[in-house]
Structure formats: structure tokens, C-alpha cells
């Protein structure tokens, strides 16, 4: 399981050097075997060679982190996004982006990340993270509609009291594009299906002049969002095939 960094750069590098000396002298580890530090040393050398300044604590911790339980897409984010890496490897780090914060939490707790009940939750977190990074201007207007996902019976009741409407799509973009007043996106996992209530609600929104579509998986969802945002601003003639 991934854990936060406990020591600074100097200490970590000294420990690596110490273990290199032990290995050369044939000193055995506590389990009776050799100190296997070739992989972390190679990774630290790679990081050091790729930047002009010494690696940060987050970079060092990321290089030494066990990512075997993480999906490839999250490992890629961990490697390229310094903020996510910092929050995932250090304690008491609060990020401005709630999506980056949540991804860091998932890195720290792979068990929750791999919980099938939260599959659509993590899909939508990844989706909003990507929108925030790739479309920062549009991101300010895109919002989620909390209808789906796993919740307790009491939480579900409270949502209804507050105005939650069954069948409403998950994401709304109130930005007029082409002939559309805005876009509704129903987010589904690869195994998800669209319910009758959702189909009925989606058809009603389409008749009202919105671009409405259901998509399965991250790639399909991002493709739909990208295509919509690429439309000209409300020219009243350009359309998309849903």
C-alpha cells in the first residue's frame, strides 16, 4: 500500500548509499537475502538526470512507492502531476483542486480505489480532473448532478427531499454550442446500463434543445465532452451525432 513520505531527501539518499556499501561488502538483510536496491537506485538516477535540481521529497517517495495496486491511468497521473504526487506521499497536504485531492486519497488507499461500489465515483473524479487540467476555462461552468452512485438509504432520502430527480444525467455543461443550449452527459462504467427513467429524461432534454448522450468508460466520456466543446459558440446550425 502506498504510504506518505517520512523522511527528507538527504536522509533517503544517505540510506541508499549506505545500502550500496552493505551490498558491496556482502552484508545480508534481515530476511537473510541481499539488499535488492538496484531498481530504486535506477529510478532515483533517472529522476536526478532528468532535472537540473535535486528531486523533491514527493519525487523520491513516488519513485520508491509500490504502485502495483493502482490502475495504469492513475500511475501516469502520479508521475506527471506534482501536486497529486505531493498529496499522495506527504501528510496533511490540502490541494486547491478537490479532484486532485481525491486522486491522492485513492493512491493512499487502493482498497477504496478498487471498491466496485465506487467504480462510477472514481470514473467521474478522473473525468473532472481531466476537464480541469485540459479545459480550465470551461471547467468553471461544468458541474455534476448528484443522482447516481452508491449511498446509504438515509442519504438517498435526504437527496430526494432536497430536490434530486431520478433519471437526471450526471454531468451538465451550461455552455451553448452549435445548435444546443448545453450538454447533458450520463456517465456509465464499462458494465453500466442506462435505465428506463434515464432514457425518458434524456429524450425530454433532447427535445428541449440540449445535446444529451450516455457514454461508457472514461475514453468515451471524454470523447463526447471534447467533441461538444469543439463546436462553435451557439451558431444555431452545427450539430453532433449523439
Chain segment 124-150, per-residue pLDDT in tens: 999 999 999 999 999 999 999 987 666
Q: Please report the pLDDT score of residue 7 as a whole number.
A: 46
Q: Please report the pLDDT score of residue 3 as a whole number.
A: 46
Cell of 8: 527528507
Picking from 93, 114, 135, the residue at the C-terminal end of a domain is: 114
Do 66 and 135 fall within a single domain?
no
Residue 98 located in a structural domain: yes
Residue 21 located in a structural domain: yes
Q: Do the Cβ atoms of 215 and 221 come closer than 8 Å?
A: yes
Do 27 and 87 fall within a single domain?
yes
Picking from 53, 84, 114, the residue at the C-terminal end of a domain is: 114
Name which of 190, 218, 206 is nearest 198 in CA terms.
Answer: 206
Do 50 and 122 fall within a single domain?
no
Q: pLDDT tens digits for 37-69?
A: 655 555 556 555 554 454 555 554 666 678 889
Q: Please report the pLDDT score of residue 52 as a whole number.
A: 45
Q: Max Cα separation, the chain? A: 77
In angstroms, rounded to a whole number, what is the distance separating the alpha carbons of residues 69 and 49?
28
Picking from 59, 86, 114, the residue at the C-terminal end of a domain is: 114
Do 62 and 86 fall within a single domain?
yes
Residue 240 located in a structural domain: no
Q: Do the Cβ atoms of 8 and 55 come closer than 8 Å?
A: no
Does the structure show a pLDDT above 50 at 115? yes
The pLDDT of 21-32, averaged and rounded, is 69
HSE-up of residue 88 (Cα within 13 Å, Cβ side) = 35
Residue 200 located in a structural domain: yes
Do 66 and 19 fall within a single domain?
yes
The pLDDT of 211-231, averaged and rounded, is 97
Q: Please report the pLDDT score of residue 158 as a whole number.
A: 86
Do 19 and 86 fall within a single domain?
yes
Cell of 154: 438515509
3-7, 109-113, 232-236: lowest mean pLDDT where?
3-7
Q: Do the Cβ atoms of 236 and 193 come closer than 8 Å?
A: no
Q: Do the Cβ atoms of 176 and 234 come closer than 8 Å?
A: yes
Residue 237 located in a structural domain: no
Residue 18 located in a structural domain: yes
Do 151 and 79 fall within a single domain?
no
Residue 40 located in a structural domain: yes
Q: Which residues of 78-95 are buried (b: 16+ CB within 10 A; e: fewer)?
A: beebebbbbbbbbeeeee
Q: Which residues of 131-163 are buried (b: 16+ CB within 10 A; e: fewer)?
A: bbeebeeebeebebeebbbeeeeeeeeeeeeee
Number of folded domains that form the chain: 2
**Considering the chain, what percentage of its residues have pLDDT values greater than 70?**
74
Q: pLDDT tens digits for 148-198?
A: 666 788 887 888 888 888 899 999 999 999 999 999 999 999 999 999 999
Residue 239 located in a structural domain: no
When pLDDT is cut at 50, 70 and 90, the band that residue 2 belongs to is very low
Domain with 155 in it: what CATH number? 3.40.1350.10
Do 57 and 139 fall within a single domain?
no
* Domain carrying residue 207: 118-229
Q: pLDDT tens digits for 27-37?
A: 766 666 666 56
Amino acid at each position: 500500500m502506498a504510504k506518505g513520505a517520512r523522511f527528507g531527501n538527504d536522509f533517503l539518499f544517505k540510506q541508499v548509499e549506505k545500502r550500496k556499501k552493505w551490498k558491496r561488502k556482502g552484508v545480508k538483510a534481515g530476511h537473510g537475502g541481499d539488499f535488492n536496491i538496484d531498481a530504486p537506485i535506477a529510478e532515483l538516477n533517472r529522476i536526478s538526470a532528468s532535472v537540473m535540481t535535486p528531486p523533491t521529497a514527493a519525487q523520491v517517495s513516488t519513485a520508491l512507492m509500490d504502485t502495483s495496486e493502482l490502475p495504469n491511468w492513475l500511475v501516469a497521473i502520479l508521475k506527471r502531476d506534482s501536486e497529486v504526487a505531493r498529496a499522495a506521499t506527504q501528510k496533511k497536504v490540502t490541494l486547491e483542486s478537490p479532484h486532485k485531492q481525491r486522486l491522492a486519497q485513492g493512491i493512499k488507499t487502493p482498497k477504496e480505489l478498487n471498491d466496485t461500489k465506487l467504480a462510477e465515483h472514481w470514473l467521474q473524479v478522473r473525468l473532472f480532473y481531466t476537464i480541469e487540467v485540459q479545459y480550465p476555462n470551461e471547467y468553471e461552468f461544468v458541474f455534476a448532478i448528484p443522482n447516481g452512485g452508491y449511498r446509504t438509504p438515509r442519504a438517498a432520502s435526504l437527496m430526494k427531499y432536497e430536490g434530486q430527480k431520478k433519471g437526471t444525467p450526471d454531468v451538465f455543461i451550461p455552455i451553448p454550442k452549435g445548435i444546443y443550449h448545453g450538454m447533458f452527459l450520463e456517465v456509465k462504467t464499462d458494465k453500466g446500463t442506462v435505465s428506463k427513467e434515464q432514457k425518458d429524461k434524456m429524450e425530454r432534454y433532447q427535445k428541449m434543445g440540449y445535446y444529451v448522450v450516455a457514454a461508457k468508460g472514461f475514453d468515451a466520456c471524454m470523447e463526447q465532452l471534447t467533441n461538444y466543446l469543439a463546436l462553435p459558440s451557439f451558431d444555431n446550425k452545427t450539430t453532433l451525432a449523439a
